[in-house]
Structure 1
Amino acid sequence: MADVDPNRGFLWRAQRVFLYIGIVYVAGASLLLLPYFQRHVVFMHLAQWPLFAEFDAPHYYGLAPFKTVNLKLTTADNVNIGAWYVLSEPAYKAIGGISRSSPPTSEEVSKSLKDHPTVLFFHGNAANRAIQYRVQMYGSVSAQLGANVLVIDYRGFGDSEGTPTEEGVNLDALASWKWLVDNGANPQDIVVMGHSLGTGIATKLVTQLQTEGVEPRALVVVAPFSSIEALFASYSLGGLIPLFRPLQIIPFVDKLVAKYIHTRFSTIDLIGQIRVPTLLVHAKDDTTIPYSHSGHLFEAILDPYLPAWPFDTKDILKTLALTAEQLQELSKVAASRMARLNELVTTKVIGPSDALFANVKRFKAQSVDATFALLEKGDHSPIVRFEGVLGLVGQVAGIGRN
């Protein structure tokens, strides 16, 4: 009997393992193209934390007693959503502070909105408005910036009714804006701020308001993505396992994936329309949304002010069909764009040279005033409560002690 190569059985088993892994991967990626699964991945609204939150007792989660009003707002499509209105520290002290023995009255809420700036905050996916790092951020905004905070839980989150969709959460955002204005806030005293998923919602709200001739004080986006489509293409689980990137070697798969993206939040198509002071903030060590997304958004703001590319560079680069003449022309335009970029953008660093906090770029021209702060450290969720980040918010929006 002939000897059996012991490696043959091992190789066959190894091939089967990789085959099964491939099948599971393709099946999982395919599920994400179905509306139901895609919605749950984008919003993660079933991943609620804290569980069974007592939203009518915000002091249980770190806010001072009687500093916060628990609200129910009704959207244009008759969905009730939960919200917290947190008084600014000066407004809270003016009504008695920690010695207060009853919730703020509607008159006191209205006065706080008239007397102090307000941050309208849109949080990221998963959890709810009572999770600790978000609550810490509200408290810091109140104290450090002297601003009120209105934060909502989108439909399907927290104690809000309904199921989240892109159109639905945009209606939630409009309802929160309307509540502020109806209760006495001046639109130019409202800073619209979003984190992660909330950056797409915040940007959409500001563009909608601008079409109505209304401009908030500023737009702040922390850890933004350029679009859900681009996020799916770049996203890695835990920063290690790429989601759709391996499929990009297959011709036309990117177009196929784009066809089945049902929730888009295409901020990159809107950011260039913003005409209020804008701050983009991202951290280099963000493993959830790569900081390249903020870079692309900042480039989209700058692009109309730079020399135009001579042809559609994306398609040509993808097919690697550049001729020598096209390469030369591309090189010339790239050089002229870089030169113009250096003229338009000012750069400064914040923090000690051996432990930098952030590299900050600012572009100001005509009605556009955009700042991009790239932090050395900050991760994805913690960054939103950083004192230095809120300092930049205050600087760009012209509020607080700067």
Structure 2
Amino acid sequence: MLLALRTGLVTFGTVYVAVLALLTLPYFQTHAVFLNAIRIPWKGQLDKPELYGLAPGKAANLYITTPDNVTLGAWFILADPLYQQLDFPPAKDAASSNIAKALQEYPTILFFHGNAATRAFHVRVQQYSAFTSRLRANVFTIDYRGFGDSQGKPSEDGLATDARAAWDWLISQGARAEDILIVGHSLGTAVSATLGAQLSTEGIRPKGLTLMSPFSTLQGLIDNYYFFGTFPLMLPLTWIPGATDAYKRFLVHEFNTMSKISRIKIPILILHAENDWDVCSAHSEALFGVLLEPFLPGVDAPSNAAMSSWTLEEWNANSEQVLKRKVARDSLVKRETIDGFGTIETFEGSGERAVWLKTLAGSHDRVGLLEGVHEMMRRTFGM
């Protein structure tokens, strides 16, 4: 029994060390971050959206070209109210021939999906259908470079270029910036935040930004990532002083939404499921905290950083500042609890609305399918 246990632990340790060692290499790390080699559905016919549940003629399969000459596969999906005006069965080019009309008459969701799979992944298709029906919006979604039928290889800068190309394509087709809601899920939240910050820097104002199941930074995600929701990835390394920080220096990609979100000058909705076992909801709380921080009084740490060495006066001063900060937060943030659904925290900062919705259900991938989430999106952005 003890021999079997020891053998098992040695095997686990060997595999664990081997995996971590491979992930220090840019090639393996990139594949682990993007998982673009997992092309679900396998051998998918992405030029036929109807095969994946969308109504005939409702979605146009398109290809757009980025400034660095990479071709990306994309779908433009008509809002339900417009689609229902068409004859049925519709003409073969019904969706593509109605793009201009759709952009003029209905808002559009620019959707950036997470890692792995393609734009035809069944959960994503269900989200498109919900957005076109419940929000009465068009949906434009792309497969990043290296995903689906798109050319190229993924990188952090490459995905940012792809996102801007998708935005620019919508504008070139007649969309108004104020009619476009940027929505990202998981990895797509980092892509969306990068685009949102870039547009804000240029004085361009989309309708808003929705971050579904976001992570604050890639480093932060690694710190508390659990394999299959059970085993903490970095736990064994924490037993070695300094090993975790040393390991993270090998990270090629940053995806640092924390450093960008405060530069986004449009309404923001952050939503996360409490039962998300892939990305802890604390990431959303941290992002909401960054938005709130400029409006809260600071807390000055005593010159002696070791709390055990603080004087009574220093303890009292610190406690008073912490209390003032809590009172200020309570006065700024409106908090509501909806029985059976979750909690909503809202505040207005510099004229921009920020909302954090923490749902009780939805997990990582399906939080965007909750009807209550759609209602929150509709009310937050006036759709």
Counterpart residue number, 2:343: 359
3-state SS of 1:53 partner: coil
1:109–1:312: structure 2 CA closer, same or farther, 3 Å change rule? Answer: farther
1:322–1:44: structure 2 CA closer, same or farther, 3 Å change rule? Answer: farther
Measured in 1, the distance between the counterparts of 2:323 and 2:83 equals: 54
Counterpart residue number, 1:371: 355
Counterpart residue number, 1:272: 262
Partner amino acid, structure 1, of 2:221: L
CA contact (8 A) 1:274 1:368 kept: no
The reply on whether 1:92 has 2:92 as its aligned counterpart is no
Measured in 2, the distance between the counterparts of 1:293 and 1:105 equals: 38
Counterpart residue number, 1:66: 57
Counterpart residue number, 2:374: 390
Post-superposition shift, 1:101?
A: 2.3
1:327–1:242: structure 2 CA closer, same or farther, 3 Å change rule? Answer: farther
3-state SS of 2:184 partner: strand
Instruction: Tell me which moved more, 107-116 or 159-168.
Output: 107-116
Measured in 2, the distance between the counterparts of 1:132 and 1:33 equals: 32
Instruction: Tell me which moved more, 24-33 or 65-74.
Output: 24-33
Post-superposition shift, 1:16?
A: 5.3
Measured in 2, the distance between the counterparts of 1:322 and 1:213 equals: 48
Instruction: Tell me which moved more, 304-313 or 22-31.
Output: 304-313
CA contact (8 A) 1:275 1:367 kept: no
Partner amino acid, structure 2, of 1:323: W
Measured in 2, the distance between the counterparts of 1:125 and 1:299 equals: 25
Deviations 1:108-143 (A, max 9, x none): 211110111000000011111111111111111111
133, 148, 154: which one aligns with 1:143: 133
1:15–1:102: structure 2 CA closer, same or farther, 3 Å change rule? Answer: closer
Counterpart residue number, 2:34: 43
145, 160, 165: which one aligns with 1:155: 145
Counterpart residue number, 2:310: 323
**RMSD, aligned CA:** 2.0
198, 207, 211: which one aligns with 1:217: 207
Instruction: Tell me which moved more, 378-387 or 240-249.
Output: 240-249
1:101–1:249: structure 2 CA closer, same or farther, 3 Å change rule? Answer: same
Counterpart residue number, 1:131: 121
Measured in 2, the distance between the counterparts of 1:176 and 1:322 equals: 55
309, 320, 326: which one aligns with 1:332: 320
Within a 5 Å distance, the mapping from 1:2-401 to structure 2 comes to: 14-15=5-6, 17-96=8-87, 98-104=88-94, 108-311=98-301, 316=305, 323-325=310-312, 326-350=314-338, 353=339, 356-399=340-383
Deviations 1:183-239 (A, max 9, x none): 000000000000011000001001011111111100000000001100011100011
Counterpart residue number, 1:4: none
3-state SS of 1:99 partner: coil
Measured in 2, the distance between the counterparts of 1:78 and 1:391 equals: 39
CA contact (8 A) 1:204 1:270 kept: yes
1:61–1:311: structure 2 CA closer, same or farther, 3 Å change rule? Answer: same
Deviations 1:129-180 (A, max 9, x none): 1111111111111111110000100111110111110000111101100110
Post-superposition shift, 1:327?
A: 4.3
Deviations 1:212-270 (A, max 9, x none): 11111000000000011000111000110111133234332343233211111100111
% identical equivalent positions:
37
Measured in 2, the distance between the counterparts of 1:143 and 1:114 equals: 17
1:32–1:327: structure 2 CA closer, same or farther, 3 Å change rule? Answer: farther
CA contact (8 A) 1:29 1:244 kept: no
Measured in 1, the distance between the counterparts of 2:95 and 2:277 equals: 43
Measured in 2, the distance between the counterparts of 1:279 and 1:396 equals: 7
Structure-2-length-normalised TM-score: 0.94
Instruction: Tell me which moved more, 172-181 or 319-328.
Output: 319-328
Structure-1-length-normalised TM-score: 0.90
Structure 1 gaps of 5+ residues are 1-9
